Amino acid sequence: MTKRLLIVAMLLLFATEALANYSVNGERKSFEIRRTDSPPVIDGVLDDAVWEDAAFVDDFHQTAPTNGAAPTERTVVRVTYDDEFLYIAANLQDSDPAAIQAKQLIQGKMFYSDDRFWVTLDSFNNKRNDYFFQVNANGVRRDALRENNARFIDEWEAIWHAESQVHENGWATEIAIPFKSISFAPDSDTWGINFGRGIVRKQEYDLWSSYERQDWPAYGGEVTGISEIEQGLGLDVVPSVTASRSKDRVAGVETNGVEPSLDIRYRITPSLSATFTFNTDFSTAEVDEQQVALDRFSLFYPEKRDFFLQDAGIFEFGNINTNGRPFFSRRIGLSEDGEEVGIIAGAKLTGRVGDFSVGALAIRQEAYEDITAKDLFVARGSYNVLDESSVGFIVTHGDPTSNESNAVVGVDFLYRNSDGPFGEILTGKFWAQQSESSDLDGDDQAFGANFEIPSDKLSVYVDLQNIEENFRPALGFVNREGIRRIATGTRYRTRPETGYWRAINHRVDYYLTTDMDGNTLSERIAIEPVGLYSNEDDYVFLRWSRQREAVLEDFELFDRLNVPAGEYEFDRYRAQIRTGVQRPLRVELTVENGGYFDGTRLMKSVELQWRQSEHLFLGLAYMENDVDLSSGSFKSRLASVRTDIAFNSRWSWANLVQFDNTAEVAGINSRLRYLPEAGKEIVLVLNHGATINPDNSFSATDSDLNLRVSYIFRY
């Protein structure tokens, strides 16, 4: 670590001490839980005797449409536990049961269009992170991790159980969460907890505990009285086998095979676990949705592989969204061209020890092309300070896509105060990194800071980045280096007491990117004079932006149109209309037009989503960019069709067809999935790819069929 990084680390510690006089004030909601000797039957019918004596809460309040108002429908939540499970029952009364929305029947899928109930568990009671469990009236489960009061990791999955039933006075749900599925501090009898409910037709959202319409872990209540809970041996063994058949239709080569794989997860303590993977198979992971690059910088695709998603939040650093991330798990097991690279074995240690969060990842990646086999390593740690803040470090080692050596070290400080000095929520982040690469020398550091007051009425933010030209995190993500960047903006919101509109936004954002000598590379001001949100969740906004770009070297747009080096200035105009998610047919229309480098670009997009019933969902998305530059013209088209067919809550068939004339590719992904219960899965995946010929005909290039069976054994 350089002297500069040491100085930054010391400043972070001094900042921690200086800010220690601020803390979250106010009394938290709390209730005491009682143990049961007779667990309920999880069937969505609240007739078990155990619920009569269980602790309950019913003092909910609205966060929308009217913050703090009494709910229009009553919600009663009862909670109990035994050695192995936390049990939650919710009676969600409704004056019009026939109007209850329940059109999602596929486990794990989002159901924004449905009525829903959720519970969050801050099992370490640190007011920073929690587990999110949500269920609809069909008993469909959805889960996620919420990290650092800011990041929602929806791809995370856990084993838990839920069933729901509609009754004459509304609907009810019963939930059983195994203590084996979560981490917790065994010596603490107090957890953070919260409950929420969505009534979609009214666009009403009710919470048990919140602050300024927010329900992050910092604003949850508490449950006391938890003791003597068990995780057994804390051992999950997940064998799986994949039978595959692949065909390269260009070379005429066909391969068949059967590959076993094994994942093992062992909880060393209730709050610390080790995970091992052998002969890891990702052939049935969800495919990426196509994107089109509209500038000279590489695109960012989210992680979708289960092994890397487990406890992924622990490895998050500095709350950096994209550019400048020291660790981005998609660098592992994928070539620079996006082709899968085998993983021989991997090990991961994640969890918490007291006020420390720790994460370590070691991977042995196979050799491919001219790249030798690689040993890759990441270590991440953070320490809780103040009421909601943390200070931490990260270290990475290894380069998965070259034979050069690479390492990164970084420190970060995340500050959050729910009762800040301005009377509002105050957040801040500070981070610093340095990379070392065998093929680069000097100018290899990166720094960043962010301050934000995310108030509902008036929000303000300032974000700073300094990324030197040789900063290269081989296990991370950088798509623009050698820059200094400032982004700042404000949004003012009014909420009319009556009328059609629920909220009216006015927004201004400013972005400036320079080189290390202060010369402007990009500058943009964006003004949203009005953004309207209706009581039916419909949305419309208008935006004007002026942009300056200094292109230092010629680059190819769409791999077809040359953009010469030079300085450009242009205006752009954008309008968007989106209907509410609760509507059977959801429509989103966007038009953007204006200058673009030395020419013009007209963007048009349409997205249609039709939920015919809980058994059928159809989605259509189309985006067109009509670009006219001095070097020529091109019309980029990106289209997709999605169908989700749910035979019941266990059998589903999902299909995605994509078309991208920019990359001249088209593809079909079809997934037939059987999920008899949480932890057991059979999935059949068909992928078929094709190229698009100049006459718009298709030529098949490859296809593969994979059948994967997996089963979790818990001890």
Per-residue pLDDT tens over the stretch 534-543: 988 899 999 9
Write out pLDDT tens, residues 224-253. 999 999 888 889 999 999 999 999 988 889
Backbone φ, ψ for residue 99 (5° rounding) = -95, 0
CATH of 33-224, one of 2.60.40.1190, 3.30.70.270, 2.60.40.10, 3.30.1490.100: 2.60.40.1190
Res 6: pLDDT: 43
Say how far apart CA 152 and CA 454 lie, in whole Å. Answer: 16
CA-CA distance, 686 to 669, in Å (whole number)? 6
Distance CA 301, CA 330 (A): 8
CA distance 109 to 657: 18
Contact 502, 64 (CB under 8 A): yes
- pLDDT at position 26 is 52
Q: Which of 78, 35, 37, 28 is nearest to 226 (CA)?
A: 35
The pLDDT confidence band at residue 126, using thresholds 50, 70 and 90, is confident
**3 state DSSP class of 75:** strand
pLDDT of residue 499: 86
Per the CB < 8 A criterion, the answer to whether 64 and 71 are in contact is no
pLDDT at 19: 35
Q: What confidence category does residue 422 fall into, taking pLDDT thresholds of 50, 70 and 90?
A: low
Cβ contact 599:576 at 8 Å: no
Q: Which residue is it, tokens 């067109």?
A: 624
Residue 127: the pLDDT is 87
pLDDT in tens, 503-533: 999 999 999 999 999 999 999 999 999 999 9
The stretch 561-573 carries a mean pLDDT of 96
Half-sphere exposure of residue 379, counting CA atoms within 13 Å on the CB side?
5
Q: Read off the pLDDT of each residue in 152-165 and give the average, rounded to a whole number.
A: 87
The answer to whether 650 touches 277, Cβ cutoff 8 Å, is no
Phi, psi (deg, nearest 5) at residue 354: 65, -125
Q: Residue 354 above 90 pLDDT?
A: no
Interval 30-46: pLDDT, tens: 999 999 999 999 999 99
- Mean pLDDT score, 486-507: 93
Section 618-626 average pLDDT: 97
Contact (CB, 8 A) for 350 and 461:
no
Higher pLDDT, 170 or 351: 170
Q: What pLDDT does 456 receive?
A: 87
Task: Single out the residue of 478, 472, 484, 549 nearest to residue 513, CA to CA.
Answer: 484
Block residue for tokens 């040491």: 6
CB atoms within 10 A of CB 403: 11
Task: Give the per-residue pLDDT at 7.
Answer: 40
Query: Which runs of consecutive H residues, i.e. helices, occur in 263-366?
Result: 306-309
Domain spans, the chain: 33-224
How many degrees, rounded to 5, is the angle at CA 679 between CA 674 and CA 680?
A: 35
- Residues contacting 327, CB < 8 A, separation 6+: 315, 317, 378, 380, 394, 396, 473, 475, 476
pLDDT at 98: 95
- The average pLDDT across 173-187 equals 91
Mean pLDDT of the chain: 90
pLDDT at 423: 60
CB 577 within 8 A of CB 540: yes
Confidence of residue 110 (pLDDT cuts 50, 70, 90): confident
Which pLDDT score, from 0 to 100, does residue 421 have?
65
List pLDDT tens digits, range 1-33: 444 444 444 434 443 333 333 233 457 899 999
Lowest mean pLDDT among 188-192, 287-291, 394-398, 657-661: 287-291
Give me the pLDDT at residue 505, please.
Answer: 96
